[in-house]
Chains A and B, each alone.
Chain A
Amino acid sequence: MQLDAPDFIARLKQGDRTAFGQLVKEHHGFLLSTARSLLSPADAEEAVQDAWIAAHRAIGKFEGRSQLRTWLTRIVINQARMMLRKQGREIQFDPTDDNDVLAHRFREGGHWQHAPRQWDLGGPDSLLTRDELRHCMAKCLDGMPENQRLVLELRDMQGMDFDSICNMLDISASNVRVLLHRARARLFELVDHFQETGEC
């Protein structure tokens, strides 16, 4: 079943419970993952549950201008930001508050002082098949600023395009690119260190 097909969307709009269940089954994991970029696991569960209720109420107004996943993700992010505001927190998407973690690797003239090591790559999947590295990666993601983590989640883990991310977060493409670069740089630094020491 194609979950973005017009007949499936029509069933959702008619209040078809089975169709809505299929929608939840398909997207719940991704939405939880998005919410966890901003919130604790317990708050993320609550935000996604509230997002499903909001989506169920609003599905009649869904115009199909974006994919369902993008529409649902926007609702989850709004719920998460609302929850953060209630806790007196706000996510800033201005990337000027954090430095590039790779900056120390370059000489003043801009050439490598500490070039990356040769990684042991067996294939595109092999990096994250090692449990220890996956564990280090999870720790690195936990310690990452929320704005970088969210952009990384949307772009690199969920494969969303830049336009959707800019619209969803209401930020410029250049800010998205800076945040993404910094998030990737943190992970690059982590993997490079892991390749040398076997530790996080």
Chain B
Amino acid sequence: MLKCKEVVEKADALVDGTPLSWRERFALRLHLMMCHHCRRYVRQLQSLVASLRNRTPPPVSDDQVSKVMNQLDSKS
């Protein structure tokens, strides 16, 4: 039986969709069926990572593009 600490260490694989052996997958599923704390950890970690993936950098202004292009012109 996996310990909660081990589940937390393996939870990233679930979030990332990393292939696990059937033995690892079975052990994780079994633990998660029985431990609501770990289920909560995995669910909230998934939400956290989903939030990070939805972040996009601020849009690039035309001025910024011009600045880069002008530098290119002066260096080439």
Interface residues, chain A, with chain B CB atoms under 8 Å away: 17, 20-21, 24-25, 28-30, 32-33, 49, 52-53, 56-57, 102-103, 106, 109-112, 115-116, 118-119, 121, 124-128, 152, 155-157, 159, 162, 177, 180-181, 184-185, 187-188, 191-192
Q: For the complex, would chain B's binding face be called helix, strand, loop or mixed by DSSP majority?
A: helix
| Interface pair B4/A181, CB less than 8 Å apart | no
Q: Which of B16, B49, B65, B71 has a CB less than 8 Å from the CB of A21? A: B65
Q: Which of A52, A106, A157 has a CB less than 8 Å from the CB of B52? A: A157
Chain B contact patch, size range: 35 or more
- Supposing A102-B8, A156-B53 touch, asked if A188 and B48 sit within 8 A by C-beta, the answer is yes
Residue of A nearest to B74 (CB): A53
| Interface pair B76/A56, CB less than 8 Å apart | yes
- Supposing A124-B51, A157-B52 touch, asked if A25 and B58 sit within 8 A by C-beta, the answer is no
Q: From residue B57, how far is it (CB to closest CB) to chain A in Å?
A: 3
Q: Which of B8, B53, B64, B76 has a CB less than 8 Å from the CB of A159? A: B53
Give Cα A32 to B65, complex, Å. 13
| Interface pair A121/B44, CB less than 8 Å apart | yes
Residue of B nearest to A128 (CB): B51
